[in-house]
Each structure stands twice: as C-alpha cells, then as structure tokens.
C-alpha cells in the first residue's frame, strides 16, 4: 500500500538552513490552511511555530531528551523579515529517525489547533505530542535495536550458528554468547558512532568480548524492515528449537505492534554492510574509581574515535559474521 504524502516532511525539506547562530531565527513556511508555520533553525532542525491568542496566560516551558517546548518566544521570520510571538515546539535531535517521528506526530496533531488557539488548547495539544513522542520513541528504539540483531544473523555466513548464540531474552547480559565469546550490538542512524553503554556492560571479564557498531539509513524503496529480516531468516533450514527461539525473541519485542508498524521502517542493507565495525570491549573507555554506592550508571561513547578490529575469532560463532570489504 502506498504511503500517504507527508506534507510536513516536504515543507521542511524545502527549507534552507538560515545563515545565523541566533536560535530564535528561522527559515519557515506557512502550514497550509493554518496561521502556524514549520521552521528550520541554524542547526537544520525542525520546529513548529504556533500562533497563540492569549500568550500572557501561558507558563511552564518543557525540555525533554529530544523535544523542547517554549512559550511566548519572539522569533524572526526570514521570509517576510518580520518578528512575531509564537509558542515553539522544537526537535532537539539531528537523528534522522527522530526528526521523522517529530514531523509525523506534529502532522497528525497540529491540525487540531485553531488558527489562534487559546493557552489551554495549546497545552492540551502539545501535551499529546510530548506523550506520543515519548511512546513512539521507545517503540522505534526497540525496532532499531531488534533490526540490528536480526541484520547480524541475516548477513552471517552461518545463520544457524549465529542464531544459536543469540540471547534467549532481551534482558540477558549479552546479545550473542557462545563458548566464552560475547558480542554486544549497537545501532545508530546518526553519522557518528555514538552509542550508549551501561557501566556494568564495560566491566566484562570475558576474553573475547566485542562490540559491533551498525550504522543504519532509512530506505523505503529497497530497504528491509524487522519483519522482512525475520521472515527471511525463518525461511532458512532451521531446527524446530531455532525457529521457536527466533519467534520467541521476535514477538517478545514486537508482539504488540501491528504489521504496518513493523513494515513502516526499512533500512538499507548494503549501507549497513558497508558501515559496520567491530571493537574489542576492553578498548571501549569506561569510568574508573566509581563509588560503590553509585549504581545504574550509563553514558555515551564515540566509537569512531576508537581502534576497530578487522577480524574476530576463527573457531567460534563470530567467525561467521559479516565484515565489510
């Protein structure tokens, strides 16, 4: 089924990035049939600029991990060289998928607003957007994570052996483990290999413990979804035990998502094959001298600044994994 045209995506993609460092200056375009605008700031990130009737009654900005809501903001509009007061809902991430989610959610919710909505109307709709963004971010994070693990199985030269080494439960300590050899899978749709690690993950005593960094890029035309990967792996000659393991792991993560959601996000297989790197876990920096009273620490590590490895164990399951040419 052909997907509906994305008006907000098209408007945003046509905007140039303003030549300024002022966070309150935007290149913008009027959203059809409204007084509101879609804007692009100097970082190339999207914002929705909402005209408001009673700005004085609005208080309480909101700042989330990837979204920012500011009330009563004076903005310079480049198109007509004017300044106006807006409520501004902004995406704070340059991640391709996060921007797509932001624009998708806004396109389905902003039309609920009048041309000059009241403060209460603004609060109601922006609260809906923030909650939807949080829920969808969690769901898509799960889809991307599962895609990376299925991609590793799908591209291996021995699907059976790699599938056998796959974890039994997403909460297991290792993504893949076999004969004292472990592998952590990290996926990113950004241009840098910045991944989040739990502190305890980096304290492994396993000698052959590796991290695989997989870069992904959306491709609706010739990409593969998590469902595509799952179905392709399932078509190989697998034992009943391995088929059941595949089904169990897949539906434990994706079971409640409708089929159209699983097929909505597709990634370019060849791009990920070319942009896949392995690292020894011991070479990934971790904090030292941590206070034992502090727990559940996590932080981001830029693996592009670390030395990668070009081969893994020759006897165990990692020898069957894909390496870019």
pTM: 0.72
pLDDT band at residue 4, thresholds of 50, 70 and 90?
very low
pLDDT at site 253: 82
Distance CA 259, CA 221 (A): 18
pLDDT digits (tens, 9 = 90+) for 42-76: 999 999 999 876 655 556 788 887 889 988 887 77
pLDDT digits (tens, 9 = 90+) for 102-111: 998 899 899 8
Residue 151 CB partners (closer than 8 Å, separation 6+): 214, 229, 267, 269, 272
pLDDT at 124 > cutoff 80: yes
pLDDT at 116 > cutoff 90: no
Q: Report, as an integer, the average pLDDT of 269-289.
A: 84
pLDDT band at residue 35, thresholds of 50, 70 and 90?
confident
Distance CA 186, CA 181 (A): 17
Average pLDDT of every residue of the chain: 83
Nearest CA to 161 out of 272, 279, 230, 245 is that of: 245
Residue by residue, DSSP assigns 48-89 as EEE--S-GGG----EE-SSEEEEEEEEEEETTTTEEEEEEEE
pLDDT at 265 > cutoff 80: yes
């Amino acid at each position: 089924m052909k997907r509906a045209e994305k008006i907000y995506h098209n408007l945003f993609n046509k905007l140039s990035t303003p030549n300024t460092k002022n966070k309150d200056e935007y290149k913008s375009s009027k959203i059809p049939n409204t007084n509101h605008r879609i804007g692009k700031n100097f970082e190339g990130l999207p914002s929705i600029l909402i005209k408001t009737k009673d700005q004085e009654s609005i208080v309480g900005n909101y700042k989330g991990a990837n979204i920012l809501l500011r009330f009563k903001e004076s903005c310079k509009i480049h198109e007509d060289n004017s300044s106006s007061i807006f409520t501004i809902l902004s995406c704070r991430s340059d991640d391709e998928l996060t921007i797509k989610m932001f624009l998708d959610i806004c396109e389905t919710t902003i039309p609920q607003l009048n041309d000059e909505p009241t403060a209460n109307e603004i609060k109601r709709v922006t609260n809906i957007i923030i909650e939807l963004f949080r829920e969808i971010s969690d769901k898509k994070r799960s889809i991307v994570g599962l895609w990376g693990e299925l991609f590793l199985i799908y591209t291996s030269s021995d699907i059976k052996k790699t599938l056998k080494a796959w974890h039994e439960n997403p909460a297991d300590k290792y993504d893949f483990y076999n004969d004292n050899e472990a592998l952590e899978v990290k996926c990113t749709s950004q241009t840098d290999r910045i991944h989040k690690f739990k502190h305890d993950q980096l304290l492994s005593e396993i000698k052959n413990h590796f991290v695989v960094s997989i870069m992904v890029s959306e491709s609706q035309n010739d990409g593969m979804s998590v469902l595509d990967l799952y179905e392709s792996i399932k078509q190989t000659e697998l034992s009943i035990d391995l088929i059941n393991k595949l089904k169990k792991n897949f539906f434990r993560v994706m079971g409640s998502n409708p089929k159209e959601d699983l097929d909505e996000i597709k990634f370019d297989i060849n791009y990920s094959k070319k942009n896949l790197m392995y690292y020894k876990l011991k070479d990934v920096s971790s904090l030292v001298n941590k206070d034992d009273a502090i727990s559940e620490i996590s932080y981001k590590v830029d693996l592009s600044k670390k030395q990668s490895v070009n081969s893994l164990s020759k006897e165990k399951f990692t020898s069957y994994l894909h390496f870019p040419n």
